[in-house]
Amino acid sequence: MHKDYRCCLSPTRKFRLLSNDVAFLFLLIIWKTLLVHSFALLPVPLQVVVPPRSSCHRLAHQGDDNNSHEEEEEDDLIRYRGRVSYDGSSYQGFQIQLGKKSDAATIQAALEDVLQRRFTRNIRVVGSGRTDSGVSARGQAFHFDLTSKEHAQLEERKVPLDHVWNRMLPDQDIRVYHVGPAPPPREKTKTTSTRLFPWNAIHDSTRKLYSYRLCVGPVLHPLDRFQRWQIPNDGKFVDLDKLRDALAKYEGTHDFRAFAGAVEQSERRAQRKIHSVRTIYKCELVEENGDEGYYRIDIVLSGALYKMVRNMVGVAVDVSRGRIDMTTLQRLI
């Protein structure tokens, strides 16, 4: 028969035993808690997949920002380049939009979607520059990176990537061509050291040609309504000689800050001052079909600010129509 010896103990002895039991349980709970946390803090091993090395030129991945610094050469990635032509009437420019416009249709998003489906991974496409909403292009340069394994698969199948790319694009308003491996990396001196840098659609661009098509006649053909601006017929007609003189004022190196859009907003967002000095190598009026009043403004420059070309053309046209005098234009630049 079991006998409880604690019943024979004095009240003081019973209290001491009970206190010891509580202390033991408290220490046991703390020990278990520390043990669980110690296991949670142990490092988890990562599985790293390294693509096979190749004798081809291996290049680094460009950052998300098109204005990011030029990247150095890196193993395991091969730089590709190409050109893209597109009708931008249905797109919000070339570059993917951020914030509230993240779902907007852009040329970059359409190109990257095809690469993602073809190679089952996200591949960033970097264009030679941004374009405004509705702007079209005939040969905008771009680049992207493939792994050496992906490059070897393309070489083995001997099917041009641009052919596959164009077949996978959802619409016929975007077409790529001249897609292939970029030239080998070049040595460039940055600060005090010389390093290898891959070909870059932004940094290796020497000139950019912007063409703005106008109709100064009374009637614009309906098929040209998305590709040409008809000057309003409000009694102020375009003086072609004045227009040529106004365009010539842009040539040279000037500060085009007055022609850029949302500069202060962009500076606040980037928390830095935007460099607004640009060089215009050529700015001229070209006659395409004088009988119908069709003309084209060609602007060759090193690079453009946001909405800079559009505002330049608008101011020059206003000068030709007598709405702005030439002195005001000269003060703006």
The three state secondary structure string of the chain is CCCCHHHHCCHHHHHHHHHHHHHHHHHHHHHHHHHHHHHHCCCCCCCCCCCCCCCCCCCCCCCCCCCCCCCCCCCCEEEEEEEEEECHHHCCCCCCCCHHHCCCCCHHHHHHHHHHHHHCCCCCCEECCCCCCCCCEEEEEEEEEEEHHHHHHHHHHCCCHHHHHHHHCCCCCEEEEEEEECCCCEEEEECCEEEEECCCCCCCCCCEEEEEEEECCCCCCHHHCCCCEECCCCCCCCCHHHHHHHHHHCCEEEECHHHCCCHHHHHHHHCCCCCCEEEEEEEEEEEEEHHHCEEEEEEEECCCCCCHHHHHHHHHHHHHCCCCCHHHHHHHC
The structure tokens listed for 5 are: 């010896």
The position carrying tokens 């330049």 is 312
Whole-angstrom distance between the N-terminal and C-terminal Cα of the chain? 109
CA count, 13 A, side-chain hemisphere, 299: 27
Measured between alpha carbons, how far is 123 from 8 in angstroms, rounded to an integer? 81
Q: What does the pLDDT read at residue 180?
A: 95
Q: What does the pLDDT read at residue 54?
A: 33
Segments of the chain scoring below 70 in pLDDT:
1-75, 100-102, 267, 269-270
Report the predicted TM-score, pTM, of the whole model to 2 decimal places.
0.69
The structure tokens listed for 39 are: 């296991």
Measured between alpha carbons, how far is 291 from 248 in angstroms, rounded to an integer? 24
CA distances from 112 to 57, 124, 180, 202, 238 (A): 22, 6, 16, 18, 43
Q: What does the pLDDT read at residue 302?
A: 85
Q: Looking at beta carbons, which pairs linking 243-247 to residues 24 or more positions away fall under 8 Å? A: 243/285, 243/316, 243/317, 243/319, 243/320, 244/284, 244/285, 245/326, 246/315, 246/316, 246/319, 246/320, 246/326, 246/329, 247/283, 247/284, 247/285, 247/297, 247/316
Measured between alpha carbons, how far is 55 from 178 in angstroms, rounded to an integer? 22
Q: What does the pLDDT read at residue 206?
A: 87
Measured between alpha carbons, how far is 296 from 214 in angstroms, rounded to an integer? 6
Counting Cβ atoms within 10 Å, is residue 77 exposed (0-12), middle (13-18) or buried (19+)? buried
Q: What does the pLDDT read at residue 132?
A: 82
Q: What does the pLDDT read at residue 100?
A: 57
